Structure 1
Amino acid sequence: MPFEVYQPGVYLHGTKADLTIGDLLVPGRESNFEQGRLMNYVYFTATLDAATWGAELAVGHGRGRIYLVEPTGAFEDDPNVTDKRFPGNPTQSFRSREPLRIVGELTDWVGHSPEKLQAMLDGIKGLMQQGSAQIED
């Protein structure tokens, strides 16, 4: 279910980075989706589906990972999906200029089908070729 909240009050971050409990995700790191781009925000979600996409689409080697995260400061709706793609914020996607603390890891999540993943990758590639895959950061 794409817009189903994982657990009320629990936030998730999908990536390929190998992190441990207590680590901080901070702005100023390279984008998970655009090599060479430094991000002004850290992104997170309350839905398992959005976190799964983050884990599957992140650049890098190794397996995708989904971490439970705790914001350490103020955050806002992610303008890359809110209203631009989905009116309101049904994906429960957020961003913050403050660090996110890793408080756990989900290990039993199930990825999207290979066909669905390839369709998403093809769609992103098409947007990049058109020059319209830019992240509002």
Structure 2
Amino acid sequence: MTSVPKPFEVHESGALFHGTKANLTVGDLLVPGRRSNFETGRTMNHVYVTATLDAATWGAELAAGEGLGRIYIVEPMGDLEDDPNVTDKRFPGNPTRSYRTTQPVKIVGELTDWVGHSPDQVQAMREALADLERRGAAEIDD
């Protein structure tokens, strides 16, 4: 079993991940133009991926919807760019190794032995995100 994720630590496999609650299978494509995992009523222009288990875990835990969070191993089918939502706004230099693309991303596997953040950490993150939304500061540059 994988240990608790550490911020900014690139996963030992070197793989890229996508965290969500969507039930997907190997071979499925993540494509732009679908609804956001995190903002009701928003259609996304990009697909987001990360090389850190911590960022993927947050994606799986915080995604909209019911059910268990899932972390998929993915293969981008086009060029990636740094995700400006974290790179420019919160973590200069992209230590979260978070990226986005306007091209499809293929599911090539699923990481099933990941360990999530503590319930207290998840609740604190949800509260912080809700506070950003209340203040009108929860902008996604997509």
TM-score range, shorter chain: over 0.9
Greater mean deviation of Cα atoms: 8-17 or 88-97: 8-17
Q: Within the alignment, does 1:57 sit opposite 2:81 as a pair?
A: no
Alignment partner, residue 83 of structure 2: 78
Matches within 5 A, 1:107-118: 107-118=112-123
| Structure 1 ranges of 4+ moved more than 4 A | none
SS in structure 1 opposite 2:125? Answer: helix
CA distance in 2, matches of 1:108, 1:25: 22
Give the Å deviation of 1:8: 5.3
CA distance in 2, matches of 1:8, 1:56: 21
Per-residue CA deviations over 1:104-137 (Å, capped at 9, x if unaligned) read 0011101100100000000000000000001100
Matches within 5 A, 1:22-61: 22-61=27-66
Give the Å deviation of 1:9: 3.7
Look up the equivalent residue of 1:6 and give its one-letter code: H
Look up the equivalent residue of 1:103 and give its one-letter code: V
**RMSD value, Cα:** 0.8
Per-residue CA deviations over 1:80-101 (Å, capped at 9, x if unaligned) read 0002101100000000000000
CA distance in 2, matches of 1:69, 1:121: 26
Identical positions, percent = 69
Matches within 5 A, 1:78-117: 78-117=83-122
Matches within 5 A, 1:111-126: 111-126=116-131
CA distance in 1, matches of 2:103, 2:51: 17
CA distance in 1, matches of 2:88, 2:139: 16
Alignment partner, residue 136 of structure 1: 141
Alignment partner, residue 3 of structure 2: none
> Structure 2-normalised TM-score?
0.95
CA distance in 2, matches of 1:136, 1:92: 17
SS in structure 2 opposite 1:37? Answer: coil
Asked if structure 2 preserves the Cα contact closer than 8 Å seen for 1:7 and 1:46, the reply is: no
Any unmatched runs of 5+ in structure 2? 1-5
